[in-house]
């Protein structure tokens, strides 16, 4: 039998995830002298936020980081999905139709976050989507010009997404912000000294949204339509309105992508992966940076990435220079968290017939009858489908306070052939490519 | 000893809420016995949720054939009553022969099965390709056993427990049994006790912790589940050399064993390992398993794998379960050691135990499964 993992490669430092955090970590560590391999499962670097549309160029800040990574000699593998670590110091990576093992000495996890979807009646109708997903869709050419859009959820992302959609020619009629006026007012009064640049950003956003009603203290309760969306009903807790629309973009927040930390058995906190001052996780020789350590936005991701990169290279002095800035950004993130905390009313949106697990068509009634996430999974198939609970189990953490189920490989779906290992031909090709 | 307020009295205490414990609960409760099921986790949370759910006749030994044939007959009476979430599929088994030598074995296997009253049909090479176009060219033929079936064990376990509850049985989950005394006293981890006329030890790989002499060793297995590909294969497909893999006494082995699920997904198995230290997925073993599958079904490579998991089978030295009185504990009977066949044989296990409790004659000879077979020579069980 052929060696299942014939194609091998060594790297001092492997960085998982090429979003802002991963890019900054990789560039920094390489500048400090490490041999760095950066993996991202998509064809682009920069994560969802810096992802350019077809033909467009990435933003300036992204280009700057890409150039730094490049001149520091970071080896970059796009479209490379790390899916298992077994034995623990060997990463199994799928690259298109190839698969190879990467023996790592140090690792930085920077796999980012994904969107939180909350189920309510009608949320599975076509054209009800995650705001981030919609943004990516529009970037890749999906037409929104002239369409009537309602944006619902919470946080600054709502405004960013709405502004983007308006720029693309959509009619955004309402922005439903579930946080109350008073929470927002409190937040705004602190915003000024915390992050002036963000305040400015928010203000300019507002000016693009003159024809849009911004409605704090409101949230969607049902989406209507036969085979696709034609209206949404929302409430402020007492009154209800129904608005005709073609697209409902939901953004209830992001949640850290915890499959990789789970596979490696990293200790977690309620916010994400636990890290020390130097972004070191509870696992030996593993650091973490960016959204997986707690949501904080792109500025914090960049700072954490640089700290992790320096620390992995043993350059603690340089790492420590970023501590103050990180602390400031974390305070800002904590304010955001508090202000945009999801209200309990959102826990009561699903009706017994609402499908909560879309992959397996499992209703709220079936899930509510279960004692925990594992029981729900075994008896109803909730979370067993192709997204492996990414959507429903994340929602159930909020709806039921259930913790996530035990993580098993692969960390992301891969070809069955990739589990069988590389064949010798590919292995040789791989070796000649090594630096 | 005095009884305490927290103590429960019952006729039958069943330790373990896997499919074997659940089948026993349904059987004894239907007989009018007062039954309590004690499960340390959730129902079907261990081997029962890790297995493939293949209801299959195996002929490794005459006793195994007799038990699986009897069990399959009991299943066929139950299958029509099961709801949709039991994912029943009478897809049959197709045993695949790689070479002409194996083809000779196919003929023999058909005769052995016929002796047990099991219908089976030999497929020549072209018939094999027609039945399963995804199989590679160059295989020798196969044996189709049309009445084998597939279920989804966790929901069936819950259904059996619900039937037991309807007949008055009590199910207690998240209570670990710490210790069982030979006189039927069961000590729970929360300090309470259950006093039973009879204790059924259906604790799977946990059975020896309560009945130390039960010769059971955990045998690890890996499975891979894919995304949905309805109609990609039509039968549960197993290499004819499968029994060789189950017989390997030590070390590890893999065999080609693929199951189409009602959902359109495919389960890819299987591996067997003694002395595995953890339940972690071992990519080395998965690779061997998938390579074996690829030798039969080249197209499997391109399918998308969603999840890999492991489970532990409760293996005995002679590949037969332990069904009947524990030689060391007079009021404790074993319902354990079903290795890779517990889903198939749980109903038969429950029926044999009920018959014995009632003093009825059983439909098949129960002697080959009696735990005392390991003490017959006078030595200790293990
Ligand atoms: C859909 C979406 C839209 C967003 N829109 C905005 C916005 O408009 N404005 C804003 O301020 N913030 C936005 N954010 C938040 C912003 O992306 C983050 O704050 C910031 O990018 C965090 O950087 P990061 O490096 O931690 O994670 P990310 O940027 O998410 O990067 C993680 C990277 O890891 C890769 N990856 C994941 N798993 C694997 C694996 N197993 N193997 C290899 N690679 C892997 C991913 O492909 C991704 O490129 C958005 C986030 C999302 C998810
Ligand atoms: C990979 C794999 C594939 C398989 N494929 C098939 C197949 O296709 N067909 C087939 O027929 N069989 C198959 N099997 C075998 C089958 O899964 C088992 O034989 C069967 O599930 C055993 O059921 P059980 O109830 O005895 O054990 P379990 O399901 O393990 O139940 C035992 C229960 O006892 C509980 N318990 C243990 N100790 C205590 C205690 N001290 N106190 C309280 N509770 C306790 C446990 O929590 C557990 O829930 C497979 C097994 C594996 C691992």
Domains located in chain A, CATH noted: 8-113+255-337 (3.50.50.60), 117-252 (3.50.50.60), 350-399 (no CATH)
Q: Is B223 in the pocket of ligand 2 (CB under 6 A)?
A: yes
Residue B134 lies in a domain: yes
Alpha-carbon span B109 to B102, nearest angstrom: 10
Mean pLDDT value across residues B15-29: 98
Which residues have C-beta atoms less than 6 Å from ligand 1? A 16-22, 39-42, 47-49, 81-82, 110-115, 132, 135, 157, 160, 254, 257, 260, 290-291, 297-298, 301, 411-412
Write down the residue that tokens 């998509």 correspond to: A42
Ligand 1 mean position, distance from CA A24 (Å): 13
Residue A35's contacts (CB-CB under 8 Å, 6 or more residues apart) are A11, A12, A13, A73, A75, A435
Mean pLDDT, consecutive 10-residue stretches, chain A (435 aa), reads 44 93 98 96 90 79 96 95 92 91 94 96 96 90 95 91 92 95 80 55 64 93 96 97 97 94 94 97 97 94 98 98 97 90 96 95 95 94 90 93 88 95 42 30
Write down the residue that tokens 């429960």 correspond to: B8
Residues B221 and B366 in one domain: no
Q: Is B23 in the pocket of ligand 2 (CB under 6 A)?
A: no
- A-B interface: how many C-beta pairs under 8 angstroms? 102
Residues B161 and B309 in one domain: no
What is the phi/psi pair of residue A16, to 5°?
-95, 115
Residue B85 lies in a domain: no
H or E segment at A359? Answer: none
Tell me how far apart the terminal alpha carbons of chain A are, to the nearest angstrom: 29
Q: Return the percentage of chain B with pLDDT > 70, whole number.
A: 96
Alpha-carbon span B1 to B82, nearest angstrom: 44
Residues B192 and B300 in one domain: no
Residue B226 lies in a domain: yes
Residues B186 and B277 in one domain: no
pLDDT of the residue at A356? 96
Going by DSSP bridges, is the β-strand pair B35-38/B8-15 parallel, antiparallel, or unpaired? parallel
Q: Is B14 in the pocket of ligand 2 (CB under 6 A)?
A: no
Q: Of the residues B264, B288, B315, which one is the last residue of a structural domain?
A: B315
Quick check: A147 contacting B, CB < 8 Å? no
Q: In 10 A of CB B125, how many CB atoms?
A: 16
The residue whose CA has the least distance to atom 15 of ligand 2 is: B340
pLDDT of the residue at A44? 86
DSSP state of A156: H
Q: Which ligand is nearest to the CA of B349?
A: 2
Interval B146-173: pLDDT, tens: 999 999 999 999 999 999 999 999 999 9
Q: Give the pair of three-digit tokens for residue A337.
A: 């968290």
Residue B248 lies in a domain: yes
Residue B171's contacts (CB-CB under 8 Å, 6 or more residues apart) are B17, B25, B36, B37, B39, B43, B161, B164, B165
CA A91 to mean position of chain CA atoms: 22
Closest CB from A4, A378, A409 relative to B281: A409
User: Chain A interface, mutation test: which of B282, B297, B306, most A Cβ atoms within 10 Å?
Assistant: B306
pLDDT of the residue at B366? 98
pLDDT of the residue at B377? 55
The verdict on a CB contact (< 8 Å) between A416 and B155 is: no
Alpha-carbon span B18 to B202, nearest angstrom: 8
CA distances from B98 to A235, B95, B127, B266 (A): 66, 10, 14, 22
Alpha-carbon span B94 to B256, nearest angstrom: 12
pLDDT of the residue at B246? 72
Residue B73 lies in a domain: no
Residues B168 and B307 in one domain: no
Alpha-carbon span B150 to B120, nearest angstrom: 17
Residues B140 and B236 in one domain: yes
Write down the residue that tokens 């059971």 correspond to: B216
Q: Give the pair of three-digit tokens for residue B306.
A: 């969603």
Task: Confirm if B150 and B53 have CB atoms less than 8 A apart.
Answer: yes
Q: Compute the mean pLDDT over every residue in chain B, rounded to the nearest whole number.
A: 94
pLDDT of the residue at A429? 35
Ligand 1 mean position, distance from CA A108 (Å): 15
**Strand runs (DSSP E) across A110-164, as ranges?**
113-115, 128-130, 148-153
The verdict on a CB contact (< 8 Å) between B284 and A86 is: yes
B341: helix, coil or strand?
Answer: helix
What length does chain B have? 382
Quick check: A369 contacting B, CB < 8 Å? no
Residues B221 and B294 in one domain: yes
Burial class (CB in 10 A: 0-12, 13-18, 19+), B86: buried
Alpha-carbon span B212 to B269, nearest angstrom: 31
The domain tally of chain B equals: 2
B275: helix, coil or strand?
Answer: coil
Predicted ipTM of the assembly: 0.92
Q: Of the residues B315, B334, B353, which one is the last residue of a structural domain?
A: B315
Residues B323 and B198 in one domain: yes
Angstroms from B3 CA to nearest CA on chain A: 31
Residue B256 lies in a domain: yes
Going by DSSP bridges, is the β-strand pair A219-224/A231-235 parallel, antiparallel, or unpaired? antiparallel
Determine the structural domain holding residue B30 and report its residue range.
Answer: 8-50+153-215+319-374
Taking 3-state DSSP, the helix, strand and coil percentages for chain A, each rounded to the nearest 5, stand at 35, 25, 40
pLDDT of the residue at B183? 93
CATH of the domain at B245: 3.30.9.10
H or E segment at B295? Answer: helix B283-296
Task: Confirm if A253 and A117 have CB atoms less than 8 A apart.
Answer: no
Residues B178 and B262 in one domain: no
Residue B92 has pLDDT above 70, yes or no: yes
Mean pLDDT value across residues B209-224: 96
Residue B45 lies in a domain: yes
Residues B341 and B266 in one domain: no
Residue B125 lies in a domain: yes
Ligand 2 mean position, distance from CA B336 (Å): 9
pLDDT of the residue at B81? 97
Residues B112 and B144 in one domain: yes
Residues B29 and B125 in one domain: no
A154: helix, coil or strand?
Answer: coil
Nearest to A431 by CA among A6, A2, A12, A1: A6
Closest CB from A92, A381, A420 relative to B294: A420
Residue B86's contacts (CB-CB under 8 Å, 6 or more residues apart) are B151, B152, B155, B156, B159
For a mutational test of ligand 1's pocket, the pick from A18, A40, A112, i.e. the residue with the most ligand atoms closer than 8 A to its C-beta, is: A112
């Amino acid at each position: 039998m052929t060696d299942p993992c014939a194609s091998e490669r060594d790297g001092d430092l492997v960085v998982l995830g090429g979003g802002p955090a991963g890019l900054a970590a990789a560039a920094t560590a390489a500048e400090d002298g490490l041999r760095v391999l950066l993996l991202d499962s998509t064809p682009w670097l920069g994560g969802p936020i810096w992802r350019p549309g077809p033909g467009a160029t990435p933003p300036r800040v992204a280009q700057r980081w890409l150039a730094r990574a490049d001149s520091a000699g970071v080896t970059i593998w796009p479209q490379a999905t790390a899916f298992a670590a077994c034995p623990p110091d060997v990463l199994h990576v799928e690259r298109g139709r190839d698969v190879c093992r990467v023996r790592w000495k140090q690792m930085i996890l920077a796999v980012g976050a994904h969107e939180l979807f909350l189920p309510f009646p009608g949320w599975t109708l076509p054209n009800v989507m995650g705001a981030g997903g919609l943004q990516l869709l529009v970037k890749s050419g999906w037409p929104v010009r002239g369409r009537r859009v309602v944006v619902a959820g919470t946080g600054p992302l709502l405004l960013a997404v709405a502004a983007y959609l308006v720029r693309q020619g959509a009619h955004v009629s309402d922005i439903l912000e579930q946080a109350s006026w008073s929470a927002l007012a409190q937040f705004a009064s602190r915003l000024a000294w915390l992050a002036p640049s963000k305040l400015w950003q928010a203000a300019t956003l507002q000016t693009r949204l003159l024809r849009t009603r911004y409605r704090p203290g409101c949230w969607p309760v049902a989406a209507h339509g036969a085979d696709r969306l034609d209206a949404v009903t929302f409430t402020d807790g007492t009154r209800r309105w129904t608005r005709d629309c073609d697209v409902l973009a939901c953004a209830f927040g992001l949640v850290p992508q915890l499959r990789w930390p789970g596979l490696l058995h990293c200790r977690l906190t309620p916010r994400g992966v636990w890290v020390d001052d130097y972004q070191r996780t509870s696992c030996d020789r593993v650091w973490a940076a960016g959204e997986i350590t707690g949501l904080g936005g792109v500025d914090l991701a960049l700072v954490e990435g640089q700290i992790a990169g320096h620390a992995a290279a043993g350059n603690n002095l340089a790492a420590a220079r970023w501590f103050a800035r990180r602390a400031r950004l974390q305070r800002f993130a904590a304010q955001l968290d508090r202000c945009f905390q999801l209200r309990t009313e959102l826990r009561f949106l699903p009706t017994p017939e609402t499908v909560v697990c879309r992959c397996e068509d499992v209703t709220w009634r079936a899930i509510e009858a279960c004692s925990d996430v594992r029981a729900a999974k075994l008896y109803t198939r909730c979370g067993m489908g192709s997204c492996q609970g990414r959507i429903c189990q994340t929602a159930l953490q909020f709806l039921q306070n259930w913790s996530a189920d035990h993580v098993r490989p692969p960390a992301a779906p891969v070809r069955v052939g990739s589990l069988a290992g590389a064949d010798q031909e590919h292995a040789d090709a791989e070796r000649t490519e090594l630096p | 000893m005095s009884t305490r307020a927290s103590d429960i009295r019952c006729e039958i205490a069943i330790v373990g809420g896997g499919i074997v414990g659940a089948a026993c609960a349904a059987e004894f409760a239907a007989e009018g016995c007062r039954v309590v099921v004690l499960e340390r986790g959730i129902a079907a949370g261990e081997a029962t949720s890790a297995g493939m759910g293949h209801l299959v006749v195996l002929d490794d030994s005459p006793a195994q054939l007799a038990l699986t044939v009897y069990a399959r007959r009991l299943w066929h009476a139950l299958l029509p009553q099961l709801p949709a979430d039991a994912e029943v599929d009478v897809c049959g088994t197709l045993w695949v022969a790689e070479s002409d030598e194996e083809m000779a074995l196919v003929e023999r296997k058909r005769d052995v099965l016929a002796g047990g009253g099991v219908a089976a049909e030999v497929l020549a090479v072209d018939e094999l390709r027609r039945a399963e176009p995804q199989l590679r060219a160059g295989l020798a033929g196969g044996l189709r056993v049309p009445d084998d079936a597939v279920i989804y064990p966790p929901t069936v376990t819950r259904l059996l427990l619900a039937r037991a509850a309807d007949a008055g049985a009590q199910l207690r989950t998240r209570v670990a049994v710490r210790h069982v005394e030979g006189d039927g006293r069961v000590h729970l981890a929360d300090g309470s006790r259950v006093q039973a006329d009879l204790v059924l030890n259906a604790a799977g790989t946990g059975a020896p912790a309560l009945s130390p002499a039960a010769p059971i060793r955990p045998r690890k297995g890996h499975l891979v589940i894919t995304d949905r590909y309805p109609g990609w294969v039509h039968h549960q497909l197993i290499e004819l050399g499968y029994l060789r893999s189950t017989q390997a006494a030590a070390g590890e082995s893999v065999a080609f064993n693929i199951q189409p699920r009602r959902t359109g997904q495919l389960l890819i198995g299987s591996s067997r390992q003694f002395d595995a230290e953890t339940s972690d997925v071992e990519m080395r073993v998965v690779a061997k398993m998938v390579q074996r599958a690829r030798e039969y079904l080249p197209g499997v490579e391109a399918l998308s794998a969603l999840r890999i998991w492991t489970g532990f089978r409760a293996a005995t030295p002679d590949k037969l379960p332990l069904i009947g009185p524990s030689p060391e504990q007079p009021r404790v009977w074993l319902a354990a050691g079903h290795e890779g066949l517990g889903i198939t044989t749980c109903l038969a296990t429950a029926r044999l135990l009920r018959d014995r409790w009632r003093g009825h004659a059983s439909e098949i000879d129960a002697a080959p499964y009696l735990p005392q077979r390991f003490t017959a020579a006078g030595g200790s069980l293990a």
